[in-house]
Structure 1
Amino acid sequence: MTQPIPPITLPPVEDAQQEGKWLQSALQQWLDHEFIPELVNRKIAERAAQIFMRQRLEGENDLGSLVIAIVTEMQAFDFSKSFYSEFAIANAVSDLLLDSLGIDRCCGNG
């Protein structure tokens, strides 16, 4: 029988502004690199970072819950000028956070 994936908990927030700036920059770089640099990428990264910072300031440290919040709130974003969707953005945020924590996102823990 397979084991459920254990939750990933981020360390408590120390400087939400710094985390948000880092995430916004990292996400925009990822967006620009994955397809093509577009003006909308800055807006996407800015909005995702705002959602992330607010969630962190409200005490959310669970990565899964942060990803769900980003998917849910990014549904209101107009992606018509982008090749991305709220799901791609939430997955990219998750990957960036896992990378920053040194967690292998490719093949699990075992």
Structure 2
Amino acid sequence: MTDPIPSITLPPSENPQLEGQWLQQNLLTWLDAEFIPEAVNQKIAQRAAQIYMRQRMEGENDLGSLVIAIVTEMQSFDFSKSFFGEFAIANAVSDLLLERLGIDRCCGQ
């Protein structure tokens, strides 16, 4: 029987606002680089960062739970003017956070 993949816990947030700004800036950079820069990318990055900040302010430290929250709440976002969807955004947030923690997102630690 295989072992389950262990969850990844982020360190407690000391400054959710600063983390949110970092995430918004880096997610926007990723969005613009992934396809082409679009005006909607700023709104996508801003909304994802808002969700992330609120979750962190509520004490959420589990990366998987953060990803689920972003997917769930981004479902109400209008992606009709974008190449992206809620799953791509949540996965990009996860990748950015793993990179920031120094964890190889491809093959684990």
What's the counterpart of residue 47 of structure 1? 47
Secondary structure of residue in 1 paired with 2:30:
helix
Shift of 1:108: 2.4
Q: Which amino acid aligns with 1:66?
A: L
Output the CA distance in 1 between the equivalents of 2:38 and 2:13.
30
3-state DSSP class of the match of 2:71?
Answer: helix
Q: State the distance in 1 between where 2:32 and 2:47 align.
A: 16
What residue number does 1:58 align with? Answer: 58
Counterparts of 1:2-41 in structure 2, within 5 Å, are 2-41=2-41
Aligned residues: percent identity?
79
Distance 1:100 1:77 in 2: 26
Aligned to 2:100: 100
Cα RMSD for the two superposed structures: 0.6
Q: Which amino acid aligns with 1:94?
A: S
Where does 1:57-76 land on structure 2 (aligned, <5 Å)?
57-76=57-76
- Mapped to 1, the partners of 2:106 and 2:71 lie a distance apart of 21
Deviations 1:29-69 (A, max 9, x none): 00000000000000000000000000000000000000000
Alignment pair present for 1:87 and 2:82: no
Cα offset, 1:2, TM superposition: 1.6
3-state DSSP of counterpart to 1:96: helix
- Using structure 1 for the length normalisation, give the TM-score: 0.97
4+ aligned runs moved over 4 Å, structure 1: none
